[in-house]
Structure 1
């Protein structure tokens, strides 16, 4: 799999956040986070590079890198393994059982139209277990390849599920992934989804990796619950400036081009504070 584009999401606020806050947590935090202490976290306020569009030699000063699960980790650095955990990339549809793809009342697969990705159906415990079995296999590969952490993307897919499942189901599913990552000695990061940051203890998530919190002035929504264990990716000059002004002395911050191209390719961009 080759990721050639980044999945940027504006964080949902307001009604959805209130709804999530009112739902009684259904998750047992003790088992989710019990082995988290064995998983070393990314160093805070460290040089970071987002390389999910293809690995390349990290720039000087970088000590933390995120790469796609089918890429190799960067030698000598802290490596985060990107997995598309809640959705299916177009070229991988035939790898999933048809009943695990989320469907509307007419039986049509529900697609995240921004990325042309089918959404996985995490609405029931049985389906969550089956989907987790496959994603956890990818996490096993991350561990055996030498990554130190995992970045499961599209935690916010419930926002695009057309009401077929809600944030509670998403939390239950990511808890399955957290437990497995910890069993493998990996830390696990919350990707975006500011409204669910308050549930980090229940879900066992260890740190946050966040797109455009400077652009939308939402970095504090993550630091409130994850402290300085927040990695920020911006895609605009204004977003970078805001993130650096407010958080440059505390958080790992980088600006990348929207397609996160490898260094040396046309359109490549990388800036820091």
Structure 2
């Protein structure tokens, strides 16, 4: 009987379909960063980034935005039900990224990282079911805003769990910001660099990922600078900071 059970388990494992290999970012095309809401996709754009709650753009390589390290401002009801997974200060108050009104997630212990990876993993699997090709996990660098409560090592350990979830779903995984860090060691396949021209960080990403870097600039002079230095190799877009559907949109 024990041998029969072992054989059945082995056959089940062999029959389970393997996840598809993630598809790399296409090159020689432009990117549009549409987190503020879906918009018309120009013919020159082959890569579109949209929120996980939106529908992928037909005919494009679609990147699903997931806030993996902080909460979305409109999701506080959900996180109040999971209050033990929200980072809190010594007085029990949620630690907040004040610029965006987002609470930081508590990734300090292996148990909490595993719980959070299950939550974010479900969102990631949803991206794959909806037809996205990749996922970008935002706020990888939130530990620098944690008032010293979270370390970079803890962020890296959690990132490994998220990239594994992405790959299990057949999606490429995108590192968001944290210039100068080799995210490939945590399983990332490409990078999304905000304002790397403004802060002279673009080379820090291309040194790691080559042409697998998407660049978003929010000021015209930074956009012009980035286009001059990297526009022949990378997809670079100028957007308004609120990323509104009818807002600023320029390509190199």
TM-score, scaled to structure 2:
0.89
Match of 1:227 in 2: 210
Q: Distance in 1 between matches of 2:213 and 2:85?
A: 32
Cα deviation, residue 195, structure 1 = 3.5
Q: Distance in 2 between matches of 1:195 and 1:125?
A: 25
Cα deviation, residue 95, structure 1 = 1.1
Structure 1 residue corresponding to 2:103, chosen from 105, 113, 118: 118
Q: Please list, as runs of the form range in 1=range in 2, the aligned pairs for 1:125-140 lying within 5 A after superposition.
A: 125-140=110-125
Match of 1:194 in 2: 179
Cα deviation, residue 50, structure 1 = 0.5
Cα deviation, residue 116, structure 1 = 1.1
Partners of 1:44 and 1:230 within 8 A in 2: no
Match of 1:28 in 2: none
Cα deviation, residue 133, structure 1 = 0.6
Deviations 1:99-119 (A, max 9, x none): 111011121111111111110
2:236 maps to 1:272: no
Match of 1:251 in 2: 234
- Structure 2 vs 1, CA of residues 123 and 195 (structure 1 numbering), >3 Å: closer, same or farther? farther
Deviations 1:67-122 (A, max 9, x none): 00000000111000001111112321221211111011121111111111110000
Match of 2:189 in 1: 206
Structure number with greater Rg is 2
Paired residues in the alignment total 233
- Structure 2 vs 1, CA of residues 202 and 36 (structure 1 numbering), >3 Å: closer, same or farther? farther
Q: Which runs of 4+ in 1 moved over 2 A?
A: none
Structure 1 residue corresponding to 2:45, chosen from 52, 58, 62: 62
Q: Secondary structure at the match of 1:132?
A: helix
Q: Please list, as runs of the form range in 1=range in 2, the aligned pairs for 1:10-21 lying within 5 A after superposition.
A: none
Match of 1:180 in 2: 165
Cα deviation, residue 135, structure 1 = 0.5
Structure 2: 5+ residue stretches without partners: 1-17
Which one scores higher on RCO, CA 8 angstroms, separation ≥ 6? 1
Q: Distance in 2 between matches of 1:62 and 1:270?
A: 11
2:90 maps to 1:105: yes
Match of 1:13 in 2: none
Cα deviation, residue 193, structure 1 = 0.8
2:153 maps to 1:168: yes
TM-score, scaled to structure 1:
0.83
Partners of 1:211 and 1:232 within 8 A in 2: yes
Q: Distance in 2 between matches of 1:184 and 1:227?
A: 24
Structure 1: 5+ residue stretches without partners: 1-34
Cα deviation, residue 215, structure 1 = 1.2
Partners of 1:36 and 1:206 within 8 A in 2: no
Partners of 2:20 and 2:170 within 8 A in 1: no
